[in-house]
Amino acid sequence: MDLRQLEYFVAVAEERNFTRAAERVHISQSGVSAQIRRLEHELGAELFDRSARAVTLTVAGEAALAHARAALASADAVGRAVDEVTGLVRGRLTVGMVAGCTLTPLFDALAAFHRAHPGVEVLLREDDSDRLADGVRSGTLDLALLGAAATTPDGLDALTLVSEGLVAAVPPGHPLAGRYALSLRDLTAHPIVSMPPGTGLRAVLDRACAAQDLHPAIALEAGAADAIAGLAVRGLGVAVLSASMAAPYADRLTALPLHDVDVPALLALVWRPAHSPAVRAFLPHARHAFGSPGGA
C-alpha cells in the first residue's frame, strides 16, 4: 500500500461518497475506486459496504481508519520537520469557511498568503460551524473561519474576530417595528427566520431559549445573511442575525437588540495547536487583514 491509497481511503470514509471523495482529492471517481479496490485486495478485506446509498465502513474499515489517519499524519509530520529546518513553506493549506460567508478580510488574507507563498496550494471549503470545528480537529482542515456561541471550540487555538449580541430584524409595518429593544419572549411570539443548527448564531439562539424554557417557532432556515434578510423583508418571519450582519440591511429592516440574551455570538478563526508551517505563515496575513494584534 502507499500513502496515496490511504489518502483516498480516508477521503471516502469521511465523505461517505466516492464522488465527493474524488472531488476532494482531485482525481476521477474511477481512479479513487480502483485504488480502493487495490488496497482492499492487498489487505484481504473489504473496507466499505457499497450496498446502500451512503458508503459506510465495514468492521475491517473501521479498524483501519485510525491507523490510516495516523500514517498520513506521520508522513505530514516528516514534511513539517524538514520545513522547520529549511524554512520553506510548501504543500497545501486547506481552509474551512462557514457557509454563506462573505467576509472579505478572509479573502484578502488568502490572496496575500498566495502572493507570498505561490508554491502552496490553497483550498477553500464551506460547511456549517460544527463540522468545520470537527474538520480542524481531525486534520482534514488546517484552519477554519466559523461561528460559535460564547466560547471558541474546545481543543483549538483561536483568533476571535467578532463578539456581539443577537438582534431581531423586522421590516416596516411589522408589529415589533416600533420597539427599541426586545426580550427573547417578545421575539418567540413571532415566526423566526434563522440560521440552521450547527451554526454559531443558531447555537446562541437555542441556548438562550433553553435557558428561559422558550420554544421558538423557526419558520424558515437559511445559511446566508442575504437569504435571511430577504425572507424577513417579505414578511415570512423575524430575522435573527448578529448586529454587524444586520447592518447592511438597515434600509429595509429595523434591527432590535435582544436585551436579555447575554450569550455573545462569536466569529473566530481556529486551528490546531500543533499546526503546520503553512498555517503559521498564514496567521500573520489573517491578523493583518482583520486588524488583530498578536503573534502566531
Q: Is the dihedral of CA 195, 200, 203, 207 positive or negative?
A: negative
CA–CA gap between residue 238 and residue 178 (Å, rounded): 14
Q: Angle at Cα 123 formed by Cα 246 and Cα 135, nearest 5°?
A: 75
- Cβ burial, residue 35 (10 Å; 0-12/13-18/19+): buried
Contact 241, 256 (CB under 8 A): no
Please give the pLDDT value at position 295.
Answer: 39
32-46, 75-89, 193-207, 220-234: least confident range:
75-89
Share of the chain above pLDDT 90, in %: 60
pLDDT by residue (tens digit) across 70-98?
998 888 777 666 665 555 566 789 999 98
Q: What is the mean pLDDT of residues 263-277?
A: 88
Please give the pLDDT value at position 294.
Answer: 43
291 has pLDDT over 60: yes
262 has pLDDT over 90: no
Please give the pLDDT value at position 244.
Answer: 87
For residue 221, the cross-strand partners are 194
Instruction: Categorize the per-residue pLDDT at 296 as very low, low, confident or very high, splitting at 50, 70 and 90.
Output: very low
Please give the pLDDT value at position 292.
Answer: 63
pLDDT by residue (tens digit) across 176-215?
998 988 999 999 999 999 999 988 899 999 999 999 999 9
Give Cα 261 distance to the centre of its chain. 24
Q: What is the mean pLDDT of residues 275-285?
A: 88
25-29, 33-37, 82-86, 165-169: least confident range:
82-86
Instruction: Categorize the per-residue pLDDT at 54 as very low, low, confident or very high, splitting at 50, 70 and 90.
Output: confident
CA–CA gap between residue 250 and residue 177 (Å, rounded): 12
pLDDT by residue (tens digit) across 125-148?
988 889 899 999 988 899 999 988
What's the helix, strand, coil split of the chain in %, to 5?
45, 20, 35
Contact 236, 112 (CB under 8 A): no
Please give the pLDDT value at position 293.
Answer: 46
Q: How many CB atoms lie within 10 A of CB 34?
A: 14
Share of the chain above pLDDT 70, in %: 94
User: Is the pLDDT higher at 1 or at 294?
Assistant: 1
The rounded mean pLDDT for the chain is 89
Instruction: Categorize the per-residue pLDDT at 234 as very low, low, confident or very high, splitting at 50, 70 and 90.
Output: very high
